[in-house]
Amino acid sequence: MIGHRRLPPRLSLTAVLLTALLVVPLSVRAQTTGQAPSGVGTIRPPKPTRNYAPAKPAWDVAGRWTWTARCTTGVWAGGWSIVQSSPGHFSGGYTGTNIADVGTIVNGRVRGRTFTLLHKFTDIFGKPHDDRVRGTLKRTGKGIEVNGTSGDETFSCTFRAAKK
């Protein structure tokens, strides 16, 4: 092999150690500053993680509500008293101010902005009813409002309710 000389073993070890002493500090500098040493390609720092805003708190539907309804049987008004048993689930009762404002609230649920409940009551003739109530929640300057529909096989209504 002409023109190729092998370095003595001691010199080879010295060359390796010198190379290591030069390369390691440069790579540490690149990691800590995000800047590559001159003559070396660009080093991109890792992308920052996204900071997401905390989720909005669940709707707090517990408390006293007032409602009005336009139904096939007339125009009615009354109130609800709601207890929230766990996030997204509630029960309660109607306040008993008139013949349309009676009964219990079971299987109340909030999913996103959707508000549903089952209004169980017995009419003045002793017939039990399962009035399915469904509406959309909306925040107002004064609290919470829900607009929607209700009814069973004998009547239907559109309603508006507001939490006091």
pLDDT 10s digits, 23-51: 555 555 555 555 555 655 666 777 776 66
What count of residues does the chain have?
A: 164
CA distance 80 to 7: 93
Residue 113 and residue 83 share a domain: yes
CA distance 75 to 68: 7
Number of domains observed in the structure of the chain: 2
> pLDDT tens digits for the chain (164 residues)?
556 566 565 556 565 555 555 555 555 555 555 555 565 566 677 777 666 655 555 799 999 999 999 999 999 999 999 999 999 999 999 999 999 999 999 999 999 999 999 999 999 999 999 999 999 999 999 899 999 999 999 999 999 999 97
User: Residue 33 domain-assigned?
Assistant: yes
Residue 80 and residue 48 share a domain: no
Q: Which distant-in-sequence residues (6+ apart) come within 8 Å of 7 by Cβ?
A: 15
DSSP lists the bridge partners of residue 69 as 76, 159
* Whether the Cβ atoms of residue 144 and residue 136 lie closer than 8 Å to each other: no
CATH number at 114 reads: 2.40.128
